Amino acid sequence: MSDMRSKLSTLWIFATLNYLYCDVVTLMDANLLKGFMNGHVGGIEVTQGFLLAAAALVEIPISMVLLSRVLGHPANRWANIGAGVTMTGVQLLSVFAAKPAPYYLFFSLIEVGATAAIVWLAWRWSGERARDVQARAGATADAAVHSS
């Protein structure tokens, strides 16, 4: 997987699956599930506003799966850095806000590792050289001619 777009998109898929499965496991915790059912978890009231904010937060990594593939280099690089820093920061804050359960800490370490890797890769991404873009365009044109 030499294409940086593919690497970044794949890391966002990996992070997203970890976020989602951590949420599933959280719902298996009887005490937390009771709290969700009562509308209060960890001192937070689970309101429609809270749920909307949670939906917006989880939309960041989901959107980055697609945006990593379709944005041009400068926008792609900065979107990955911004989203990666945001998600890394949110996850770290959630770990230090209260004493996390072992499973939550486990998932958090993986999630922070994935988003930190995204930031690092995007930061170091120097861009696509014109020669590489032309070679890819030529290969696409050749494939179109041969498939006709």
User: Per-domain residue ranges for the chain?
Assistant: 4-139
Secondary-structure breakdown of the chain: helix, strand, coil percentages, each rounded to the nearest 5: 80, 5, 15
pLDDT per residue as tens digits for the range 119-133: 999 999 986 654 455
**Is the pLDDT confidence value at 33 over 60?**
yes
**44 strand-pairing partners:** 41
The per-residue pLDDT for 42 is 77
Q: How many residues are present in the chain?
A: 148
**Is the pLDDT confidence value at 1 over 50?**
no
Tokens in use for 9? 């998109």
Q: What is the pTM of this model?
A: 0.81
What is the mean predicted confidence (pLDDT) over 31-50? 88
CA max distance for the chain: 63
Confidence band (pLDDT; 50, 70, 90) for 137? low
| Backbone torsions φ then ψ of 46, nearest 5 degrees | -85, 90
End-to-end CA distance of the chain: 28
The DSSP string of 66-134 is HHHHHS-HHHHHHHHHHHHHHHHHHHHHHHHHS---HHHHHHHHHHHHHHHHHHHHHHH-----HHHHH
The per-residue pLDDT for 36 is 87
**Is the pLDDT confidence value at 32 over 50?**
yes
**Is the pLDDT confidence value at 48 over 80?**
yes
pLDDT per residue as tens digits for the range 68-108: 999 999 999 999 999 999 999 999 999 998 889 999 999 99
% of the chain exceeding 70 in pLDDT? 84
